[in-house]
Chains A and B, each alone.
Chain A
Amino acid sequence: MSRIHRLDRIVADQIAAGEVVQRPASVVKELIENSLDANARQISVHLLQGGQSLIEIQDDGQGIEPDDMALALERHATSKITVLSDLDHSPWLGFRGEALAAISAVSRLTLKSRLPTEPVGRLIRADGGHIRDQDLVAMAPGTVIAVSDLFYNTPARLKSQRSPAAEAGWIQHLVEHLAVGRPDVAFRVDSEERTLLKTPGRGDSHEALYQIYGRELGEALLPVDYTGMTGISIRGWIAPAHLHRGSRHAQSLYVNGRWVVNWILRQAVEEAYRPQVPDRRFPSYWLWIDIPGDAVDPNAHPTKDEVRIDKERQVAALLFRAVHDSLVQKSTAPELALDANIAHESSGEYDQAQWSLVPTESSPADGGILHQEFLELVPLAQWQAKYIIAQGPLGLYLIDQHAAHERLYFEELQRGKGQALVMQPLLVPYALTLTPLEWQALERYRPTFEDAGFEITGSGGTTVMVRSVPQGLRDLPDDPAVFRVILESLVSGTVQHDHPITWIEEPLFAMAACKAAIKAYRPMSHPEMVALIRNMARLVDPRGCPHGRPTLIRLSIEEVDRRFGRKG
C-alpha cells in the first residue's frame, strides 16, 4: 500500500499560507499592497484585538470584476502577471496570486467589491478557504475585505501570537512604512475606537512624516537628493542625528517604490550617522532609492520585504555618501528641549498653524550651517570647567570642550594618514591560506592593499605570501596579521568606507584623539576658547566627537523668551 499521497488542497493551502501569513501584520501588508495595486486613493484599516479577531481593510480602488470574485480566492490567481518574465518589470507590489488565497485558508474572510461602473457590489464569504455563500450588497465603489478569527483553524500558529497591543503596534509601524512610501494615498488605521495613524494623502512625503511622527521630528527633517553617475538616485528625508531612537521602526528604505528591508543598505546609512549616534540607538530616515529596473529581484522572499539588489555595495556606498553629505552640510546644533516643550510636541494632530512646509535652510556655499554657526560663536565663559558657554546666531550654545577638542585631533590624525607611506619588506614572508570569500575580497581590493603598502604574491592555490607590510599604520603592529584582520572585516561586510585600511585605523584614531584632547575639569582661558571654536569651524565634520557624542547643544532665543513670558 502506498504511504505517500497527495495532500488535500485545503491542508496544502494552510501550509503555504504559513509562509506568507505569519501574523496579523502580514495580512495587513498583503491586503494594503493589493489596494495600492488597485489604484486606491484612500485606504483605511480597522482592527479589533490587534487584528486577531478582526482586520477590515477598505479602499476606493478599482474593485474586482464580479466574475472574478471566486477566482480571486484561489491560489496563483492574479491579474497582475501572466508570464514569469513580466516579473522583471512588474510595477505591482503583489504578483504571485498568493495573498488572498493564503489569508482565506487560515481565517473567516468576507470579500466585498464594487466596480465604479456597477450599481451594486458583490459579496463572497469563505471559511478556511471554503466558499460559503455569495450575494449582492450595497456599498461604495472599491473593495472591503474583512478577515476575522485569523488562524482559527491553525491552533499552533494561533498560540504563538503576541498580545493584541503588541500586534497592533506592529501593524501601526508597518502602515507607517507603507504610508510614508505612498504619500499620495490617504491612510488611516483605527484600533478598537482609537485612531493610531492618519495621513492626508496629498502626495507630499514630508507632510506624511509630519503627520505620523509629530512636530519635533517633522520640523527637523533634512532633505536628501542625490543622483549617482550610474543612474541610481537617492531622495528622501533624514532626521538629524540627535533625534535618535531606541528602535529601528522609524527607518524606511524604498527601492523602486517598494518598501524593503536590506541589511547592507541599512548599515550604510547608520554608518553615515555613526559619529553622532550612541551605541544601541538608531537614526531615523526615509529614503527612496531608484535603481534602473533590472537590478532588483523582488521575488527573493515569500513576504517580499527582502529584495535582492545588484551592485548592492555600490548602492550602499552612494547611500553613505548621500546621507553623510547631507548630515554634514545641514546639521545644526541640536536644540536643547525643555520640559514645557515636550508637553505639546508630537500630539500627532495635523495643525497647519504650527509649522510651515519650508524645509531646512539651504546651505551656504562654504561649509555647512554648523560651520557657519561655529564661525559666529562668541565664547562667554567656561562653566564647571567642562563646558564653554557661547552666544551665537541662533541662541545660547553649550560646547563640550573635550568632545570638540577630540574631534579636532581626530581629523588631524586622519589627515596625517594620507601622507606618503613607507613599506617594510619582510625578511620572512608571511604565508596565509585564504578562504574563497577572503580570496574574492583580496582580488577586488588588491590595488587598495598595494597602495597602502602591502606586497602580496600568490603562492599556488589560495595561499598568498605577504612580502611587505605598511610601516606604521597608526598604533597597529607592523605585523602581517593586520592583513588578515582587514581581509576578515572586508568579508564580514563591516566595512562601509571606500578604503578598508582607513577603516581599520579609524577606531585607533578615535582612541588616540580621546587621549590627546583636553579633558573635562581643565580650566580654559578666553583666548583658548576662541581658538578652539575657530578651529571647529574649519573641520570637515564638526558634528560630534568620534565616539558619537555631540560637540555642542543650543538653547534657542525663542525658547528663552517664551520661558520668561516675553512674546517676541
Chain B
Amino acid sequence: MQFTVDQNQLAQALSMVIRLVQQQNTMAVLGGVQLTASDSGLDVQTTDLFSVMTVKVRAHVIEPGTIVLPAATFNDLIHRLPTATVDVQVDPHSGKAVLKYGRNRATIHGFGNDQLPEFPTFGEGVVSVTLPAGTLTSFARQIIFACSKEESRPILKGIHIELGSGKVVLVSTDGSRLSHAWAALPDYRGPEMRLVLPAKILAEASRLDSSGQPIVVTFRDGFVQFATQDTMLTSRVLDGDYPDYQRVIPQDYQVQIRVPTADLRGSVERAHLIASKDRSNAVKFNHQIGLLQMTASAAEVGQAQEILECDSQGSEMEIMFNSTFIIDALKSFSGEEVMIEFSGVQSPARIRDAANSQYFHILLPLRQLV
C-alpha cells in the first residue's frame, strides 16, 4: 500500500474523525484511524462502535490497501509536517507505515492486519432529506444545551427528531426544561418518522456544515447518516420511548413581555451572581405593565434588584425561575429582542427570539416550599 497526499487536506480530515476516538478502549484497534487507499482516493475512518465517520481525501494512490494506525500519534505527526505533501508506504507484512516528507521520514507501527469493525451499510427503502448548509449548526446551538446530562433517564440525553408534513422538528429536555426547534422541508414527501439521536452526534454532525455544502440526512431503522460530498457520519439511534412532550407546551399565555436580549441577559447574569450563592439558584421575576423587575437574594451574601422597561401585556405576575435555565436560553438567541410568555405562576413559561419563531424554550417555574 502506497499513496501521496496533501498534508493540509489529510490534517483536516484527521481533525474531523479523531473526535470519535475514545480515550480508553478495551479493543485496542478502536484507538486507531483506518486508512483505505483505492482508485477513488484515500478514506480516513474512525469509530466508537456507536457511530462511524469517514472522510474522503484526494490522493495519488500508487498501490491500494488498508491499514489502521494509532490515531493520536498519526494525527499529531501529520499536523506538524513541514512539507506540502506526504508519502505513505505500508509494508503489509510488518504493518509498519513509513511516512516520507521531504528528506525526512518517520515510521509508525500500525495494528497489523486488524481493521475497524464493519458498520452495516444502508440498503434499499431508506428515507432521505437534504438540509441547507447551516441548518444543523443552528439546531445544535438552539437545543443541545437542554439535553439531560444525567444517566438516570438515558433517553433524555438524546434529541428527539420528528420528520413529516413538510418540516423537521427537534426537541430536547432534561425533565425540567424543554427546547423546541423546527425547519421547513418543502420538498419532503416521504413518510413520518420519529427517532432519538444522541446529543453528541448532533454536535458532530453540525461540524459537517464547515464544508458549506448541504447535508443529506438518511434514515433507516435504527440508524441515521449525515453526508456531504466528502464526509459521512453514520450513527445508531437511542432505544426507548421519548416522553410525550406536546402536552407540556402551553397553548395560551396570560402575560407577554418583549425586552432587548442583551439588557435582559445582563440583568439576569447579575442577579445570578447573587442567586448562585444560595442553594436554590432562584431569581424572582415580577411583571407589571411596562416593567420587569428581577430580584435575587442569598442569606449570607446579599441581594440584587434589576428593573427593565419592557413592552408588555397581560396581568401582573410574580414568578420564580432557576437563573441558570434563563441564561442558557438567552445565550441561544441571536436576535435583538426576546419574548417571554407566562402561562401562570405554576405553569410552564415560554421564552423565544422575537424575530425568529422557529425555536423556543419552555421552563417550569420554581416553587417555594413553605
Contacts and interface: CB of A to CB of B under 8 A. Distances in A.
Given A427-B348, A430-B153, 9 more contacts: A416-B299, A417-B279, A423-B366, A425-B366, A425-B367, A426-B175, A427-B178, A451-B369, A480-B153
B348 to A, nearest CB: 7
B364 A477 contact: no
A451 B369 CA distance: 8
A471 B281 contact: yes
B368 interface: yes
B346 interface: yes
B243 A428 contact: yes
Interface of A: 416-417, 419-428, 430, 451, 453, 468, 471-474, 477-481, 484
Contact of B248 (A424, A428, A430): A428
Most buried by B among A425, A427, A477: A427
B14 interface: no
B147 to A, nearest CB: 13
Given A416-B299, A427-B348, A428-B248, A422 B368 contact: yes
Nearest to B279: A472
Contacts of A481: 150-152
B364 A425 contact: yes
Given A422-B280, A478-B176, A479-B152, A471 B368 contact: no
B343 to A, nearest CB: 13
Interface in B264-285: 278-282
Most buried by A among B153, B300, B364, B366: B366
Contacts of B159: none
A465 to B, nearest CB: 12
Contacts of A478: 176
Given A420-B369, A480-B152, A427 B173 contact: yes
B320 interface: yes
A426 B174 CA distance: 9
Question: Which 4 A-B residue pairings sit nearest by Cβ, starting from the closest?
Answer: A481-B152, A472-B279, A422-B280, A428-B243
Contacts of A473: 279
A479 B150 contact: yes
A421 B280 contact: yes
A74 B366 CA distance: 73
B172 to A, nearest CB: 11
28 contacts: A419-B278, A419-B299, A422-B282, A422-B320, A422-B366, A422-B367, A423-B367, A424-B367, A426-B176, A427-B348, A428-B173, A428-B243, A428-B245, A430-B152, A430-B175, A468-B367, A471-B280, A471-B281, A471-B366, A472-B279, A472-B280, A477-B149, A479-B150, A480-B152, A480-B153, A480-B175, A481-B150, A481-B152
A423 B369 contact: yes
Nearest to B176: A424
A481 B174 CA distance: 13
Nearest to A474: B279
Contacts of B364: 424-427
Contacts of B369: 420-423, 451, 453
A421 B152 CA distance: 23
A427 B175 contact: yes
B2 interface: no
A477 B156 CA distance: 15
Nearest to B155: A428
Most buried by B among A416, A425, A453: A425
A49 B265 CA distance: 83
Given A421-B369, A468-B367, A480-B175, A427 B362 contact: yes
Contacts of B245: 427-428
Most buried by A among B248, B299, B367: B367
Contacts of B150: 477, 479, 481
